Chain A
Amino acid sequence: MIEVEALTKRYGSFTAVRELSFAVRPGDVLGLVGPNGAGKTTTLRCLAGIIPASSGAVRIGGHDVATDAVAAKRTLAFFPDEPRLFDYLTVRQHLNFVARLYGVADHEAIAEPLLAEFEIADKADQLPGELSRGMKQKLAIACGLLHGPRVLFFDEPLTGLDPLGIRRMKDSIARRAREGATIVLSSHLLHLLEEVCSHVLILKQGEKIANGTIAEVAARFGNGEAKVNLEDIFIRATGGSER
C-alpha cells in the first residue's frame, strides 16, 4: 500500500532524509522512531504529498505522490502533531467542510459516530478556541477519518491526550489496522508504539538504521538477549545520541 524508493529530501546543502526505502502493507502499523531531528516529520510530510521530495519515489495505493497526487491523497489522511484547525468553523462545520472537499455525500451519517467515538459530540457547535488541546486533536483526527482513508499517517498522535484518550486512540489505531488500513505513526513514546506497531523503522540523521517487524529488529539489536524492549532497541540502534 505504501512503497517508498530512495526518498531523499534536501534543504539547500542540508539533507533531512537520505535514500530512504521501505514498504508498508495493508494491516501493518509501522512505527517511525528516531532521535530529534532524525527526519521523521519530514518523511511523513513527503509521504503525504505535503512537501515535494528532492528525489526518489513514493507510491500510495499504487498512485505516485509526485505525478498523481490527487488520487494518492484521496486514499490517505495525515494527522500533524499540532492540530491545525480553522478558527471560525465549529466542530460540525469542520466536518461539513472536509466532507465537501473529499466528496463525502452522506457525511452526517458518518460524522455522528465519529463524534461519538472521539467523545466530542457535545462540542459539535463549539469553535476550536473553546476546545482543549486534546479535543482539538480529536477533532483533527475525526476530520481525517471522515472520508474513510486506507492509509493513515500520524505524527505524534498521542500528544495532548489524557490517559483515557491515549487508550482509546491506541484501540482506534489497532482496530483500523485490523480492518485493513495501512498505518504509519511517529512517536517518541516507545512503550506505546510497542503495543500498537507491528513494524518499526528507526531513523537517525535522515538515514534508515533499521526496518522490520519488532521481533526482527529486536533480534538484530538484542545482542542475544531474550527479552529486549523497543527502548533498548532504540538506544542501541541510535548509539544513544542524536548525532
Chain B
Amino acid sequence: MNASILRALLYLRLTSARNWLGSRLRRLRQPKYLFGAIVGVAYFYFFFIRSFSSPRHARPTNPLTGFDPAATFTLAPDSLAVATAIGALLLLVIFTVMWVVPAPRATLGFTEAEIAFLFPAPVTRRALVHFRLVSSQLRSLVGAALMMLFTNRWSFLGGNAVTHAVGWWFIFSALNLHFHGAGFTLTRLVDLGVGPWRRRLLVAATVGAVIVATFLQAPAGSRGPDLGTEPAFALLAQWVVDLTQTAPLAWLLWPFRAVLGPFLAPDVSAFLAALGPALLLIVLHYLWVVRSAVAFEEAAIDEAARKSERREGAETSGRRFGDRSPRSRPGPFALSGAGRPEFAFLWKNLLSTWPYFTGRILLLVATGIVLGATWLQRSPAGLALRPGIATAAAAFALYTLIVGPQFARQDLRNDLGNVDLLKAYPLPGWQIILGELLAPTAILAGLLWLAILTLALTLEPAGRNWAWLTPPIRVAASLGLGAIVPALVSLQLLVPNAAVLLFPGWFQTTRSRGGGPEVVGQRMIFFFAQTLTMVLALIPALLIGAVPFAIASFAGLQSTPALVAATLVASGLVLIVLLAEVAAGVRLLGARFERLDLSAELRP
C-alpha cells in the first residue's frame, strides 16, 4: 500500500478521533454533562472494568440459595465442541447471506467526504481498497475491544481478556474481508451476465447440497436428534456436534472453526495453536479481496448519496436508518385552518408513523376483542384460555406503560432537527410541547385501552379474597383506568422530552454515530428519572384517590353500588391530580423550550 495513503488515512482517523474526544471533554465543562459522564464511567467500571481487577469466576455463592454462578455457567470440556459447532453454523449462515442478499455491485462503503477527497486524488484503485480495509481494521479493533468487555464476563469461556480481544478481531476481520471479497466477486459475476436470482439459486443449492449429502453420510440412526429421553438439550447438542463433524459439512465449516479458534481457545497453548489457521485464513481473504477488486467507484458514489439522504432524513425527522422512504398519504383527520394549533402537531406526527394508528382501526380491534371475549366466555376451551389471556393483557399493559414511551417517539425527539422551525411559530412554548406530546400519548393510550378492554373482558377473579371484585366494580375500575391512562402516559412522555430539552447535546450525539460514557450515563439517568417520575406522580394521586374508599369504609358502605361510586369518584380525583401534574410539567418544559438555544448547546 502506498505509504502516503496510509499516512493520510491515519491522520484522518486519529485527528477525527482526537477532535471527537476534545469536543466531548469540552462539553463536560457544563455540570449536567459532567454528571452524566460520571454516572456512565461508574457504570462501565462496575459492570465491565471491575471484573479485570478481581479473579475470574470469583462471584460469590449466594448464601441464601446456595447458587454458585461459576459452577452453573462453566461448561464441561466437551462443551467447547458444542460452542464451536454452533458458532461455525452461525458463521455459515452469515457468510451465506453475504452471497445471497447484497447489492448488485460492490461499493466498499465510502462516505461522501471520502469520495470527494479520495476519488479525484492521484491514487490507484488498489490504494483505495487498502484505504477501506485499513479503515475497517480500525473499526474491527474498537469492536473487538468492546466485545471483549462484554464476553470477558462470560465465566464459561476459557482464555483471558487478551485471547478474547484477539479472537473477536479475527472474527470481525474475517467477516469484513469476506464481505468485500464477496462483493467484488458478485460484481464480476454480474458483469459476466450472472443475474442475482441465478446466483442466489446457485448459492442456496450448493449449501443445500452439502447439508443433504451430510445427512446421507451420517449413520442411519443419527440423522435426527432422539429427544425422547432426558436431558434433551445435551442430546440435541451432541447431535449438532456429530453432524458438523461429518463430511462434507465438516469441510465447509473448517474455515469457520479456524476463525473461531482463537476466541474459543480454553488456554494459552490452545490459543497459540489456533492462531496459525486463523491467520492463514485472514491472509487468504486479504489476497482474495486485493486481487479481485473491480470498478466500484460509480456504485460507491450512488450508495454514499443514498446514505447521506437517509441520514439527512433521520436527522430532520427522527426516521431511523433502514426505514423505508416515506410515502404520501391522506392526513389522519381533516385539519382545518382554524382551531387549536396543538392538534396540528398531533396531525403531523401521526402522519409520520404507521397508518394503523387511527380511531377507525382502534374501534375495529376493540370490536374484535369483544367478539373474541364473547366466544371465550361461551366455549369450554375458551374458558381455560381466559386466565392466560388476562395475564398477557396485564403484562402488555404494564410493558406499554413503562417501555412504550421509549418506542413511541413521534414528539420533540423526532423534531429536534426542526427546532428552528418550531421556534419561529407564533406559539408559546407550552403549546408546542403539548402538541408534540399528543401523538405518542394517543398511540400509547389506544394500545392501553385495548389491553384494559381485554383484561376487563377476560379477568375472572377466583377465591374468596376476590369476591368483592364483582362485574359492576370491574366495569367501573376499567372505565376509571381508561380515563386515567392518557394522563399517565403523558407524564411518562414528559421525561424523555425533558431529556431532549435539557441535554440536546447528548440527544444529538445518540442520534448520530459514536456516543461516549456520558451518553450511557444519560440513558441510565433518564430510565431512573422516568421510573421516579411515575412513582412520585402517583403518590399524591393515589393518596387522594384513596379518600373515597376510606370514606366508604368509615361509613360502613361496602355494597357494590357504593364501591362502584367510590371507584368512579376515586378515578376522577386521580385524574385531576395527574392532569394538574401534566399541566405543570408542560408549562415547565414550555418555558425551557422558549429558552432553548440549540446553537449554543451544540457548539463543539
Contact = CB atoms under 8 A, between A and B. Distances in A.
Interface in A51-94: 51-52, 69-74, 76-78, 80, 84-90, 93
Interface stretch (A29-37, A95-103, A182-190): A95-103
Contacts of A49: 423-424
Interface residues of B, number: 39
Contacts of B335: 96-97, 100
A5 interface: no
A129 B313 contact: yes
Contacts of A6: none
Contact of A84 (B316, B347, B348): B316
B341 to A, nearest CB: 5
A48 B595 CA distance: 14
A170 interface: no
A87 B329 CA distance: 12
A25 interface: no
A228 interface: no
A107 interface: yes
Given A49-B423, A70-B428, A78-B424, A107 B337 contact: yes
Interface in A174-204: none
Interface string B339-354: 1010110011001100
Contacts of A52: 595, 597
B352 A86 contact: yes
Q: By CB atoms of chain B within 10 A, which of A51, A71, A126 has the most?
A: A51
A125 interface: yes
Contacts of B343: 100
Contact of A87 (B313, B337, B339, B603): B313
A121 to B, nearest CB: 16
Contact of A125 (B328, B344, B426): B328
A100 B337 contact: yes
Contacts of A87: 313, 316-317, 319, 326, 352
Nearest to B421: A84
Interface in B381-439: 417-418, 420-421, 423-428
A150 to B, nearest CB: 13
Q: By CB atoms of chain A within 10 A, which of B420, B426, B598, B603 has the most?
A: B426
A208 interface: no
B372 interface: no
B344 A100 contact: yes
Given A70-B426, A100-B336, A84 B420 contact: yes
A100 B341 contact: yes
Contacts of A126: 328
Top 3 closest pairs, chain A to chain B, by CB: A73-B426, A100-B344, A87-B317
25 contacts: A12-B600, A49-B424, A50-B420, A50-B424, A51-B423, A69-B426, A70-B426, A73-B427, A84-B316, A86-B418, A87-B317, A88-B351, A89-B351, A90-B328, A93-B328, A93-B351, A96-B335, A96-B337, A100-B335, A100-B343, A102-B425, A104-B337, A105-B338, A125-B328, A126-B328
Interface of B: 309, 313, 316-317, 319, 325-328, 331, 335-339, 341, 343-344, 347-348, 351-352, 417-418, 420-421, 423-428, 594-595, 597-600, 603
Given A86-B348, A93-B328, A125-B328, 19 more contacts: A11-B603, A12-B600, A45-B420, A80-B420, A84-B418, A86-B316, A86-B317, A93-B331, A93-B348, A96-B331, A97-B347, A99-B337, A100-B335, A100-B337, A100-B344, A100-B347, A101-B427, A103-B337, A129-B326
